[in-house]
Structure 1
Amino acid sequence: MTTEIHTPTAVESGSSATEAFRKSLARHGTADTDRERIDTFARDVLGRIHDAIRAHNMTYPEYQAVKQWLIDVGESKEWPLFLDVFVEHVVEDVASQDHHGTKGSIEGPYYLPDQVMLPAKATLPMRQEEKGTPLVFSGQVRTLEGTPIPGAELDIWQADADGYYSGFASTIPDGNLRGVVVADGDGRFEITTVQPAPYEIPKDGPTGKLIAAAGWHAWRPAHLHLMVRAPGHRTVTTQLYFRGGQWLDSDIAQATKPELVLDPQPDADGVL
């Protein structure tokens, strides 16, 4: 028996990402920003747009094309996708410039909260005969001073071996390859999963049209997402990549960092 793989469209992914973002705002709210800061930032951004228009002698047809593209991004609900791919990595760099310890990375548009809680040694929820090379990810959550953090939560999510995320592809069960692993009394954990695949961000919508028009590729290297949290400690959101993986040096989201590249070694059974 063969299972048909449904490739998620940009509209499907955009709608799911937008809904997830709105739920996040409902849970956490937005930060208050004073009028003076809004005025300064907005004037700076608009001024730089004006400078780019003058520097490149933008024509009216080009301006109209940009206006239509902005309308299309909104109507397709692709703003979370576009901003998380092209903007979030800079926001993350600025936000974490004074942080120490494990390097952070972008959250991206595919995070979904409230996943199943799992013990310190656990297998992520997956389909029967889930495709992909088995992968065991283990470690210890510690403070900057090296003290173990018992009961730390590792919220983990990833694409499958075809490069798709549950919650964003209708043929994948909800919660697949997602979970919240609770570290043991020594802060240790061992997570069994499968190695994720690289994937292209959806290209059939306005974000994809921009990528095609500019001659860019749309690929992200294979990675695991992690959000590590514990009471009294700063939450760390990061991504872990794989040495030798394709697109590591040209990630469309510019989110890779050398410190976040793993080098898994197969055991006698071929498990990484």
Structure 2
Amino acid sequence: MTVAISHSPEVQAFFAKAAGVGNDQGNPRLKQIVLRILQDSAKLIEDLAISDDEFWTAVDYLNRLGSRNEAGLLMAGLGLEHFLDLLSDARDSQAGHTGGTPRTIEGPLYVAGAPLCEGEARLDDGRDPGQPMLLEGQVLDLAGQPLAGAIVDVWHANTQGLYSYFDSGQSAYNLRRRIVTDAQGRYRAYSIVPSGYGCPADGPTQACLDQLGRHGQRPAHIHFFISAPGYRHLTTQINLAGDAYLWDDFAHATRDGLVGEVERLEGGVARVVFDFCLQPAAHADDEQRSQRPRAMQTA
């Protein structure tokens, strides 16, 4: 027989006190959120008959997740980061904001302050003997007109699936640059073809995925922030065509309209052409990237 007490007045009052509701100190918004977490957690414990051992195993898992800095990775793997995109899409549709390049997840590996370059940039430091890549395209408005002076903030992994700053073996800002588009809205980057990668095999995210019967692999991909005065900031990424995990991305980031075709040029160079189309900003806040915590906040 299921015993349920979480909705009793006594327990509800207890949770309200634990969340600081009723005192005039602290943050009212946080109190509201914490109270809901307590209420919903208690209902889950009751509804699924969570044992004490299961509860404390979950607490231990959260400790391990934090110690490995993998909370962001798990949010992507469980689809919650993708859900935020779907919710934003629905809100945009309701508000009449349509068209343009689709958004998709940022992921946890952005680093602010990459060198700013005019028109074109070399992304790699020449130490990784990967396949050369030419990445180019335009930034446009909804009418297809080029946006001069837009900023293409681009970052991607090396051939080992590792990112600078998070991998001590790479130079500062390797495979990270900000490129200002030219008068025709064009950007160009010389780099190496990134590798897909998986969650750390010994980490808590992969341990969770194992229990769910899922892999933790990502296809080769390239991240972007695209911004221009008067236009909505775009957070997106392109996954490279031909990758075995293109439509089976553990992070659920692949979307229609975000697949980069790879053209093989003479000399073994891989050419990827991708244009970005921005929506006009309704207000100044639309032009800004999210204020989520990141590794560095120098720009």
**Shorter-normalised TM-score: what interval?**
0.7 to 0.9
| Distance change in 2, residues 1:259/1:131 (3 Å) | same
Per-residue CA deviations over 1:72-94 (Å, capped at 9, x if unaligned) read 22344332332344321111221
Q: Does 1:240 align with 2:233?
A: no
**Separation in 2, partners of 1:46, 1:101:** 40
- CA-CA distance at 1:180 after TM superposition: 0.5
Per-residue CA deviations over 1:152-175 (Å, capped at 9, x if unaligned) read 110000001111111111111111
**Separation in 1, partners of 2:36, 2:201:** 31
**Separation in 1, partners of 2:259, 2:84:** 21
Q: Secondary structure at the match of 2:266?
A: coil
**Separation in 1, partners of 2:85, 2:187:** 26
- Residue 288 of structure 2 corresponds to none
- Residue 105 of structure 1 corresponds to 104
Query: Could you say what the CA RMSD is over the residues aligned between the two structures, in angstroms?
Result: 2.3
Match of residue 94, structure 1, among 70, 81, 87: 87
**Separation in 2, partners of 1:264, 1:38:** 49
Per-residue CA deviations over 1:207-260 (Å, capped at 9, x if unaligned) read 232223333211111100010111121111101011221212221111111210
| Distance change in 2, residues 1:114/1:247 (3 Å) | same
Instruction: Say whether the 8 Å CA contact 2:76–2:252 is kept in structure 1.
Output: no
**Separation in 2, partners of 1:51, 1:249:** 35
Instruction: Say whether the 8 Å CA contact 1:85–1:108 is kept in structure 2.
Output: no
**Separation in 1, partners of 2:209, 2:156:** 24
Q: Does 1:59 align with 2:57?
A: no
- Residue 256 of structure 1 corresponds to 254
- Residue 198 of structure 2 corresponds to 200
TM-score (norm 1): 0.78
Question: Which structure has the larger Rg?
Answer: 2
| Distance change in 2, residues 1:34/1:101 (3 Å) | farther
Identity of aligned residues (%): 32
Map 1:108-119 → 2, pairs under 5 A:
108-119=107-118
| Distance change in 2, residues 1:88/1:270 (3 Å) | same
Q: Which runs of 5+ in 2 are unaligned?
A: 1-26, 271-299
**Separation in 1, partners of 2:47, 2:183:** 59
Instruction: Say whether the 8 Å CA contact 1:141–1:187 is kept in structure 2.
Output: yes
- Residue 220 of structure 1 corresponds to 218
**Matched residue pairs, number?**
237
Match of residue 231, structure 1, among 206, 229, 232: 229
Q: Secondary structure at the match of 1:259?
A: coil
**Separation in 2, partners of 1:256, 1:157:** 17
- Residue 80 of structure 1 corresponds to 72
